[in-house]
Amino acid sequence: MTEKITHYFNPFEFKSIIIPGGYVLSFLLITHPSIESFIATITFGGFSLFVFLSFIIGQLINSLSYFQEKLFWYFFGGMPTDWLLRENRQKKRWAKILTETQLLKLDELIQKKLIIDLNNVHTNDYRAVVHQLRLNIHNDKLHRLLDHNTQYCLHRSLSTASALLACYLFFIYAWTIGIILIICSFLFSYRLYKFGIYYARELFLQFINTSNLEDSLK
């Protein structure tokens, strides 16, 4: 069954959209009184419907997760890729991603290759700088970066899904399971935090390595 799903969906869609959507849909089915009859009538067509509904629900969860993401990273001064900006440099948040030597080298390469001085970049314009960094990495070196991004989006959606399910359970007075799901949401958020750091580190180091390789071949 998994092979059939991955045939129609790419790894990003499968992990960050279908899995969170299936997580919510499965939970709702388990708590629904007609779960036994649903299980008894599952066929390939039923499974296809389950995947389709998981995809739709996953898209909605993924959209909602952007709002949670903004709130979550607000308490950390922005996403890890934002930790190079001036206000975050003073707090040395970048030290969780790069050494001081690597930071200086990154500044030098951004100034040299992109003709950009990060000290003069406004927060609203910084996303474009991050995008330019990614464009400068060779396609054959992007697999780890893409994997970290996929895992990041997966845990972001799972965190949002757990919080939404917890609210649903609190509404029907299932307090114990609701509290467990709130804990799960925090755990998924912690994994989101870690993969956000992994992504930023991989992005910056790959840019440094790619630039150094290009210079050595000249």
Instruction: Report yes or no: 199 and 81 within 8 Å, Cβ to Cβ.
Output: yes
Q: Is residue 151 part of a domain?
A: yes
Q: Is residue 57 part of a domain?
A: no
Q: Is residue 201 part of a domain?
A: yes
Where does the pLDDT of residue 187 fall: very low under 50, low under 70, confident under 90, or very high at 90 and above?
very high
Range of the domain at 121: 63-217
195 Cβ contact list (under 8 Å, min separation 6): 148, 151, 152, 155
Q: Is residue 22 part of a domain?
A: no
- Left, alpha or beta for 206 (phi > 0: left; psi -120 to 50: alpha)? alpha
Q: Is residue 20 part of a domain?
A: no
Q: Is residue 102 part of a domain?
A: yes
Tell me the chain's radius of gyration from C-alpha atoms: 21
Considering the entire predicted model, what is its pTM? 0.84
Q: How many domains does the chain have?
A: 1
pLDDT in tens, 67-77: 999 999 988 88
Helix (H, G, I), strand (E, B) or coil at 80: helix
Q: At what angle do helices 19-30 and 44-74 cross, to 10 degrees?
A: 110
pLDDT in tens, 92-103: 888 889 998 998
